[in-house]
Amino acid sequence: LTDSHSSHCHQLEKAGILNKTKVSDNGKKLRKNWSQSWTVLHDGILTFHKDPKFAPSGPSNKSNQIIPEFTVELRGATLARASKDKSSKKNVLELKTRHGSEYLIQYDTDSIITDWEKIILDTIKQIDHD
């Protein structure tokens, strides 16, 4: 075998619209603030972008159309289905970073959440083996 298993070889990537809220910052509980995000998984990092479409105001030009809001490093993170007491919404995932920040990720369409769940879990597993 050649050196074909470098870290970039099996990179998992995905992007789409999800609802998300941060619920804890380094162990400190935060008030929920659900909003829709353009969400990108790339290089073991999950980035939630503010979509100005859903922002209260502000000009939209090419340079500020997609603004990173949260960047979550998946190395050492855990992902599970959120228990009922975490949210009244359906299809909620709970993402905990190794630094103790927590996010809820949600979408009404089952298959969309199932796909994200799968790829995030695969990414976490894969990073652990690097």
Angle at 33 between CA 76 and CA 24, to 5 degrees: 35
Indicate the SS3 state at residue 17. Answer: strand
Nearer of residues 39 and 91 to ligand I3S, judged by Cβ: 91
CA atoms of 47 and 27, how far apart (whole Å): 20
In the bound complex, what is the minimum distance in angstroms from residue 39's beta carbon to ligand I3S? 17
Continuous segment of H or E residues that includes residue 73: strand 67-73
Nearer of residues 87 and 126 to ligand I3S, judged by Cβ: 87
| Binding-site string for ligand I3S from residue 6 to residue 45, where x marks contact by CB under 6 A and - marks none | -------------------------xx-x-----------
Nearer of residues 8 and 31 to ligand I3S, judged by Cβ: 31
